[in-house]
Amino acid sequence: MKKAHVLHLTDGDEFGGGEQAILTLLKQTDRSRWDLTLAYHPTDALAPLVDGARAAGATPWAIPRMDPGFEGLGRLPAFARELRRRAPDIVHLHLMWPLACQYQLLAAAMYHHAKVVATAHSYVDLRLSWRVDHQQRLYTRAVDRYLAVSQHVRTKLVDGLGWPPEKIDVVHNGVDADAYREPADIRVRTELTNGRPGTVVLLVARLDPQKGHRHLLAAAAELPDVRVAFAGEGPERRRLEAAAVELGIDDRVAFLGHRTDVARVLAASDIVALPSAFEGLPVSLLEAMAAGKPVVASNIGGVDELVQDDVTGVLFEPGNARALAAAVRRLIDDPGRAGRLAAAGHARVIAEFSSSAMARRVGAVYERVLSD
């Protein structure tokens, strides 16, 4: 069978969970069946995605930004011509929010020979003007198949934006659990704790208000035996550093920056927290559970499809720092319970959220749209 060409495209400019999901998919895609290209905006922050894609055998293609407006619209024809020249069989758009990749979608529609697949990695509540709402509903007609990373995202897209339910499949994110079986490294542990005793609570996420880092700082202020580590970069760093100082806990907070060794950082931590305001299906929790760590997370849509309260982790009221502190304290005070939750979470990731299963499901969607 002749190999088909899939062009993955993202208009994001940071490396977060969605980008990690793209990279995992590229690594797990059957290369005997599919040739791969990754189209991306050239920014330093996306270097882990681009380097990883290249290592996975995908061809990187740096494209100019096409944000809504006359400048972005002016770049559309040249992009469409190059798309035609590269001649993909499938254009797979990765939407980090529902209205991402709008002009790229128009270009794919102009190139009539490719099928269009779009993954909705997250959902953000939007108040759309009549014009924008009508416009995005027209755009949905150009997509052959949508993939939602959780049932929560699918429901929101249908109920909130009116996307056609018959076009949306749920394909959960997945991880390679074996990649997170790392032994604890005393050097990394020292980096997280500055060589001092205490329970390390880790949050792996870009430093963005969505992720709720400030709630973990407030919780840590009530837990004097806890040390906090933030793995990730983003626009909130200065504000979070200032908040740690204001709370008097800056000597117990480690800002690690972007890490390419997340498995090693996880191995050196004790508990993983994710106090987000909203999520799709968070890769950071999949990674933590794959690493066998107990997790505490906001009880929000998407997260609750992964973490079962008091079975595979602990859920708490979103935005409630005291509830987060109480959840962490219960795990610290009952290590037997923490161990049981961690073991159950690890088993669930292996059984239901493997990267190979995710890639097979996406591949099946590709085959289906090509045969339509």
pLDDT digits (tens, 9 = 90+) for 165-176: 999 999 999 999
217 — pLDDT class (breaks 50, 70, 90): very high
Q: Residues of the chain with pLDDT > 70: what percent?
A: 97
Characterize the bridge pairing of strands 145-148 and 168-170.
parallel
Q: Residue 198 in contact with residue 252, Cβ under 8 Å? A: yes
Helix extents (H) in the chain: 17-28, 47-55, 70-86, 102-110, 130-139, 151-161, 186-193, 213-221, 237-247, 262-267, 283-290, 321-333, 335-352, 355-371
133 — pLDDT class (breaks 50, 70, 90): low
Residue 177: its pLDDT value, please? 93
Could you report the per-residue pLDDT of 250-263, keeping only the tens digit for each?
999 999 999 999 99
Question: Whole-prediction pTM value?
Answer: 0.92
Q: Residue 360 in contact with residue 140, Cβ under 8 Å? A: no
| pLDDT mean over 104-131 | 84
HEC per residue, 180-208: HCCCCCHHHHHHHHCCCCCEEEEEECCCC
pLDDT surpassing 90 at residue 160 = no
67 — pLDDT class (breaks 50, 70, 90): confident
Task: Give the residue carrying structure tokens 């269009």.
Answer: 116
Q: State both tokens at 191.
A: 């980096």
| pLDDT mean over 179-203 | 92
Residue 141: its pLDDT value, please? 84
Please state the length of the chain. 372
The residue with greater pLDDT, 321 or 129, is: 321
322 — pLDDT class (breaks 50, 70, 90): very high
Residue 202: its pLDDT value, please? 98
Q: Mean pLDDT, the chain, as a whole number?
A: 93
